[in-house]
């Protein structure tokens, strides 16, 4: 018998995956946690959608795994990864995403020289 304070898990078996959600500022309509298909809440899908301009003004990205019982703010990590990917493409971060990246990439930014 489980100890006192134990709560049964509501996570179905086999659903041990990390989910990434984006908080998006919709201007006068307020900030929302954007709705997403369950199949597109993985890290790669979220980064791809951010880079494609699918969000109006991303504010924060949260990762969580209910089966493992943890959550974490991964905004800084995602901002750095977006910068890294655009640098590898020798492209500038699009203006719609520039503020997000600059605001969250932290003091860890490594400048890359562009070869011409």
pLDDT tens-place string over residues 8-42: 554 445 567 899 999 999 999 999 999 888 889 99
Neighbours of 32 (CB within 10 A): 13
Domain ranges of the chain: 19-106
The closest alpha carbon to 46, from 91, 86, 78, belongs to: 78
Give pLDDT, residue 47: 96
- Average pLDDT over every residue of 31-60: 93
Give pLDDT, residue 88: 94
Q: DSSP label at 42? A: S
The closest alpha carbon to 75, from 87, 62, 65, belongs to: 62
Q: Which two tokens stand for residue 20?
A: 């990434």
Q: pTM here?
A: 0.76
């Amino acid at each position: 018998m489980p100890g006192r304070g134990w709560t049964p898990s509501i996570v179905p078996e086999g659903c041990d995956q990390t989910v990434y959600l984006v908080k998006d500022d919709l201007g006068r309509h307020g900030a929302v946690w954007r709705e997403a298909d369950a199949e597109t809440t993985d890290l790669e899908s979220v980064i791809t959608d951010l880079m494609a301009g699918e969000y109006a003004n991303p504010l924060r990205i949260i990762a969580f795994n209910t089966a493992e019982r943890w959550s974490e703010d991964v905004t800084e990590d995602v901002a750095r990864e977006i910068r890294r990917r655009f640098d590898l493409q020798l492209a500038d971060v699009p203006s719609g995403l520039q503020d997000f990246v600059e605001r969250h990439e932290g003091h860890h930014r490594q400048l890359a020289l562009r070869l011409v």
